Structure 1
Amino acid sequence: MKRIVVDPINRIEGHLRVEIKVNEATGKVEDALSSGTAWRGIELVLKGRDPRDAWLFAQRICGVCTTVHALACLRAVEDALGIQIPKNANYMRNIIAASQMIHDHIVHFYHLHALDWVSPVAALKADPAATAALQNTVLEKYSLKFEGPIAFDTNAYAKDFPKATTAYFREIQNKIKNIVESGQLGIFAAQYWDHPDYSILPPEAHLMAVAHYLNMLDRQRDLVTSHLVFGGKNPHPHYIVGGMPCSISMNDMNASVNTERLALVGTSVDLAIDLVNSFYIPDVLVIGDLFIKAGHVDGGGLAGKRVLSFGDFPEERYSGISNGDYFNNLLVRSNGVVENFGEGVDRAAFYPLEGKDLSDPAVLAEGVEHAWYNYPEASKDLHPWSGITSPQYTGPKEGTKTAWKYLDEAGKYSWIKTPKWNGKMVEVGPLAKYIIVYTKVKKGFLQQPTWAEKFMVDQIEAVSKLLNMPPEKWMPTTVGRTAVRGLDAQLNAYINKYFLDKLINNIKAGDTTVANTNTWDQANWPKEARGVGLHEAPRGGLSHWVTIKNGKIDNYQAIVPSTWNACPRDTNAGYGAYESSMIETKVKIAEKPLEILRVVHSFDPCLACATHLYDGQGKELSVVRTDPYL
């Protein structure tokens, strides 16, 4: 048995350490732990602050998913104070959220995850002419021909389309060759390029994918134009409790939102559709198909056993979240839990997640058995409205508190708490959302699916036909988790179009209201209030929980997707999603655990969301260099 440490996991946001015990004879991972290695203190930063400012601070939980924590925070405060936002604000927020989803998925696949599947070194062996031919074949076989619900298309033609010429790929190959021969791999450094898994793809696929990697570096910034127009900037666009801060005028060319700027948003929306349909979907499906054919159907972990989602994209205004009205108004009604999907949809069990469940500590709670926090009753989990952020760092099993060798799997070993649904571990994320919607539709829980839900089912069935494999076999795997992110990007590209159309039509009808300020004055607030904000973020179900007393935040807790997935184990509930997925993944070379990087990256880890370090005096505590070349 060999114990392997990967610290830090590179190409993620934040600080993550994993340790595995590998049986070198079989390649089986016998045990695994995942550790968030920095403390998130944002809850303490928010305590005592004005709830109207909370979104501005909460948004800084992460620097990659920029807007998602602001949206969840706004929804929590508005839920607590009973604020309904105007139609325009709801449409704008949905457009910002969908744009973020597409941007996040594209950046994740190409720039954070692709190098687990694709090698620039292997691309040097490719024939540029054969690569051009492969590009055309991939577009023919692996494109999913779906359309959204909007009848008109403002895009005259597909302006961004993969190049398929010998000269183009030869030029890309020459650039890669210069980088490799220089000995300074730069963005391609720190990877196991001699790992045998890189031989699964032909050299031409490596060259094609690296070219697209570079394409997306250039184009991704134009996907978030809606953040600039409606929120003033990216990252971290601006909001206001009660709506949006941007004025609308179709006559004033200095207005935040006018005909010219709506046209800019429209161009960005069309670009997203082009990039997803012509690059992302074909690339992720051809890679997935080749890996599935090579027998890579592991890494499912909790995905086939238990998944959770909150649902999202309210079509119109709703009266609140904790009262359940939010769930009655969603375009994607994935709210709920599905168990045993891996046994087939017929044997899968669905459990709804409704308003009454949000306040029930038996349904949603967090524990700290293996987390570096202290609860008054160590063995008792707490509902997030009663959550406590009290650090209790105990150090590693071997080594010192500042120089770890091995963490203590029998004791505390992570700065991430352990959230549970009905006392059980769950996986969250796009894969969870798709599993739940597919199960609900197939088992008759959604008698009249929305266009988006039908779109999701059609996507799953198209991929199942392409792979010649039922959904329960390919979805709960590392490949499936990665592929479904591409499907989710395609869905959100058309959701973007859908809500932009609703926004334009509402403005045409004469409505230019963007904010409800009727309860802005604290004199109109109750002395005590509490609320929850839900959002289906790029990495999965996100919830922010706030209690307000005498106009100030009395307690604030955030259960983020990476808290659900990266959490440490629990004596009664078992392993979390990261840990169980690593245990279900075989490793060919213990010292070069590429398979572990691939399965962990498939979750799109965002540990800045799960962990934060904060010093009240503003002192620099330490600087951690995660790049060995710095």
Structure 2
Amino acid sequence: MKRVVVDPVTRIEGHLRVEVSVDEATGQVQDALSSGTAWRGIELVAKDRDPRDVWAFVQRICGVCTSTHALASLRSVEDALGIQIPKNANYIRNIMHSCLDVHDHIVHFYHLHALDWVSPLEALQADPAKTAALQETVLKTYNISGLEPADVQSKTSAYPKEFPKGNATYYAAVQAKIKKIVDSGQLGIFAAQWWDHPDYKLLPPEVHLMGIAHYLAVLDRQRDIVTPHVVFGGKNPHPHYIVGGMPCSISMDDMNAPINTARLAVVDESISMAHDLVDYYYLPDVLAIGHMYVKAGMVDGGGLSKKRVLAYGGYPDEPYSGISNGDYFKKAMVRANGVVENFEQGVDKAVFTNLEGKDLMDPQFLTEEVEHSWYNYPDGTKSLHPSEGITKPNYTGPKTGTKEHWEFLDETKKYSWIKSPTFQGKACEVGPLAKYIVVYTKVKQGIIKNPTWAEALMVKQVDAVSSVLGVPAHVWMCSTVGRTACRALDAQVAASLSQYFFDKLVSNIKGGDTVVANTEKFDPNTWPKEAKGVGVLDAPRGGLGHWCVIKDGKIDNYQCIVPTTWNACPKTIANEHGAYESNMIDTKVKIADKPLEILKGIHSFDPCLACSTHLYNKKGEEIVSVNTDALCK
């Protein structure tokens, strides 16, 4: 048995360490630990803030998932204060959310995850002419676009004008660029990988060249996907919002207005381009690579997704009166709210448990545990509902080594800065895979009797991929390949949702409605003395929840359970592994010292861990800097 440490895990946001115990004879992982090595502390920053401002602070939890934290925060405060946003604000927020989903998934695959599957060194062995022919075959075989209703399909497609299919000359030029990088000995963006790992031999060289070419092409165009953030929110990352709606006024007559005909046309073009990137690059690439892995029988890494997944759903079709009162879920276009267990046995045998608005405020449903986390709860308490949550650090260090320089963590005690969220005391996986499992189960079992077009599209996608791969949904979905594929499917739905809500916005403006904010309760004098609220959505990485307690016009308590808290958490009180740990245990490793399969599995979740915390006084002088990364000096 060999214990292998990967610290830090690269090509993610934040600081993550994993440890695995591998049986070198069989390649089976016997045990695994996932440790978030930085303290977030944003909850302490939010305390005593004005509830109207807190979205701007908590949005800075991350610069990758950017506006999702702002959206969850706004919804939490609006839920607490009973604020219903106008139609235009709802449509705009949904456009900004959906375009971020597309951007995040595309950037994740090509620039954080693709190099787990394709290699620039293997690309040098490819024949450019065969690569061009291969791309034609891939587009014909793995293009599953057009499943959505006609009225939400791209209206101003840029394909093939801006996105040529590629010819031998194009691929030869890309190959020459790659060779120049390799020959220089400075791999740059292609550095820090085990390029001699046997998994890279699974794919033909032409697949590697095509993948690296698309890596470079998308790197150049990805910034245009978030144009709606710049138009509606003023910038990206961290666009602007306002409690009660949006701060961007609308005028079809004033060409200097934040939102006018010219700027709406720019948004329309951005949405169409994003749709094309998904349909003609992202999804075919993922399915082509995934198909080769499935044919080779490499469908491991399902982990906790086989056992239990959780999602919140989202994209309210129209403004809702609240989240904790359940109206948000009634208006959602994607009603993924709930938990599905035992999906690995088949969709007909899966067990669904509903998750309503009132359940989000009930400790019988949702809690956070600190049994194996570097925090303390008062009076020996080990589990609290997030609305009652406490962020009090208690760093104890590793099992062997020192507090500054770790050797191995102690799996029997505390070993992570991440708490352990639970649903009814059980760990859950969240993410696009979880969302797809929940929706697919609810529709197939008749729990959703009249699917929205978005839900129907999700089911069509899963069935189409099952047909292409030649295996049932529960086989390919519950794997590292499936987790990666469901992100691409989610991007396709998100691109269609962007178009859907853009069309609704334009139609509403044409009808004469230009209201973007409800300010009736913006004055604190209109607020109750005490109020509690919750804001949820399925962010790019999965179920995201913000809980706030407002007292005397200020934030009294603020807690977030982010998707990576669910997935990267340490073991629960019941000794159940979280999603990262379960994924590693369910993965075979060919070479213990080069656990590419482990990184591939971890990257399939698109980890997003928070960075270290610095506190400053009013003069801007640093009070304390808490450094919890053992590798930083």
* TM-score, structure 1 normalization: 0.98
CA deviation string 1:418-446 (max 9, x = no partner)? 00000001000000000000000000001
Residue matched to 2:81: 81
Q: How does 1:31-180 map to 2 (within 5 A)?
A: 31-151=31-151, 153-155=154-156, 157-158=158-159, 159-180=161-182
Name which of 317, 329, 342 aligns with 1:327.
329
Q: CA deviation at 1:349?
A: 0.6
1:621 to 618, 621, 625: 625
- Mapped partners of 2:628, 2:209: distance in 1: 34
Using the alignment, how far apart are the partners of 1:225 and 1:377 within structure 2?
Answer: 50
Q: Distance in 2 between matches of 1:221 and 1:114?
A: 18
1:154 CA drift (Å): 3.1
Matches within 5 A, 1:220-619: 220-572=222-574, 574-608=576-610, 612-617=612-617, 618-619=622-623
| Aligned-pair Cα RMSD in Å | 1.6
CA distance in 1, matches of 2:538, 2:557: 23
The DSSP-based 3-state class of the residue aligned with 1:303 is helix
Amino acid at match of 2:334: V
Q: Which runs of 5+ in 2 are unaligned?
A: none
Question: Contact (CA 8 Å) 1:160, 1:275: kept in 2 or not?
Answer: no
Greater mean deviation of Cα atoms: 369-378 or 408-417: 369-378
1:162/1:33 CA distance change after superposition, 3 Å: farther
- 1:380-429 deviation line (CA, Å, top 9, x unaligned): 31000100000000000011111011111111000000000000010000
Q: CA deviation at 1:474?
A: 0.4
Looking at structure 2, the residues matched to 232 and 446 of structure 1 have their Cα atoms a distance apart, in angstroms, of: 38
CA distance in 2, matches of 1:244, 1:511: 14
C-alpha displacement at 1:622, in angstroms? Answer: 7.3
SS for the counterpart of 1:337 is strand
- 1:24-54 deviation digits (Å, cap 9, x = unpaired): 1111100000000000110000101100000
Partner Cα separation in structure 2 for residue 623 and residue 570 of structure 1: 25
User: Which amino acid counterpart does residue 67 of structure 1 have in structure 2?
Assistant: S
- Once the two structures are TM-superposed, the CA of residue 355 in structure 1 deviates from its matched residue by 1.6
Deviation of the 1:304 alpha carbon: 1.3
Which whole-Å deviations, capped at 9, do the CAs of 1:355-380 have from their partners, x for residues lacking one?
A: 22112101000000000000114353
Q: Cα gap change, 1:60/1:276 in structure 2, threshold over 3 Å: closer, same or farther?
A: same
Deviation at 1:294, TM superposition (A): 1.3
Secondary structure of 1:276's match? helix
Contact 1:369 1:378 in 2 (8 A): no
- Cα distance between partner residues in 2 of 1:590 and 1:615: 40
Matched, 1:17 2:21: no
Return the letter of the residue paired with 1:5.
Answer: V
Please identify, of 399-408 and 147-156, the stretch whose mean Cα deviation from structure 2 is larger: 147-156
**Which position in structure 2 is the counterpart of 1:189?**
191
Letter in 2 for 1:16: L
Mapped partners of 2:124, 2:458: distance in 1: 38
Question: SS in structure 2 opposite 1:136?
Answer: helix
Q: CA deviation at 1:547?
A: 0.1
Once the two structures are superposed, residues 78-103 of structure 1 have per-residue CA deviations (whole angstroms, 9 ceiling, x without a partner) of: 00000000000000000000000000
Give yes or no for contact 1:150–1:497 (8 Å, CA) kept in 2: no
Q: Structure 1: 5+ residue runs without aligned partners? A: none
Size of the aligned set, in residue pairs, is: 627
Q: 1:622 to 1:307 in 2, by over 3 A?
A: closer
Percent identity over paired residues: 65
Measured after TM superposition, the shift of residue 60 of structure 1 is 0.1
TM-superposition CA deviations, 1:160-188 (whole Å, max 9, x none) = 33432111101100110010010000000
The runs of 4+ residues in structure 1 deviating greater than 6 Å are 622-628
Determine if contact 2:614/2:626 at 8 Å carries over to the other structure.
no
Find the residue that maps to 2:132 and give its secondary structure. helix
Distance 1:322 1:272 in 2: 33
Q: Distance in 2 between matches of 1:24 and 1:174?
A: 39
Check 1:211–1:564 CA distance in 2 against 1; reply closer, same or farther (3 A cut).
Answer: same
Letter in 1 for 2:156: N
Change (3 A) 1:495 1:626: farther
| One-letter amino acid of the counterpart of residue 606, structure 2 | D
Aligned equivalents of 2:517 and 2:631: distance in 1?
A: 45
Query: What is the CA–CA distance in structure 2 between the aligned matches of 1:626 and 1:504, rounded to whole Å?
Result: 52
Whole-angstrom CA distance in 2 between matches of 1:627 and 1:503: 49
**Equivalent-residue separation in structure 2 for 1:257 and 1:91 (angstroms):** 13
The aligned amino acid for 1:393 is Y
Per-residue deviation, residues 188-240 of structure 1 (Å, max 9, x unmatched): 00000000000011000000000000001000000011001110000000000
More displaced stretch, 48-57 vs 570-579: 570-579
Q: Which amino acid aligns with 1:585?
A: T
Matches of 2:627 and 2:374, distance apart in 1 = 21
CA distance in 1, matches of 2:627, 2:413: 27
Q: CA deviation at 1:612?
A: 4.2
Give secondary structure in 1 for the equivalent of 2:33.
strand
Q: Matched residues in 2 for 1:623 and 1:184: separation?
A: 30
Per-residue deviation, 1:293: 1.0
What is the letter of the counterpart of residue 184 of structure 2? S
Q: Distance in 1 between matches of 2:221 and 2:96?
A: 17
Cα distance between partner residues in 2 of 1:302 and 1:193: 29
Letter matched to residue 407 of structure 1: L
Q: Distance in 1 between matches of 2:348 and 2:381?
A: 37
Query: Could you tell me which amino acid in structure 2 is paired with residue 497 of structure 1?
Result: Q
Return closer, same or farther for 1:160/1:378 CA change in 2, 3 Å cut-off.
farther
Question: 1: CA distance between counterparts of 2:158 and 2:266?
Answer: 16
In the TM superposition, what is the alpha-carbon distance from 1:149 to its structure 2 partner?
3.3
Q: Distance in 1 between matches of 2:44 and 2:628?
A: 23
| Cα distance between partner residues in 1 of 2:98 and 2:250 | 21
The whole-number CA distance in structure 2 between the counterparts of 1:172 and 1:94 is: 37
Deviation at 1:570, TM superposition (A): 1.8
2:307–2:343 Cα contact (<8 Å) kept: yes
**Native 8 Å contact 1:542 1:559 kept in 2:** yes
The residue type equivalent to 2:96 in the other structure is I
SS of 2:614 mapped into structure 1:
coil
Secondary structure of the equivalent of 1:495?
Answer: helix
User: Does the 8 Å contact 1:147/1:494 carry over to 2?
Assistant: no
> Is the contact between residue 39 and residue 628 of structure 2 (CA under 8 Å) also seen in structure 1?
no
Does the CA contact (< 8 Å) of 2:158 and 2:272 recur in 1? Answer: no
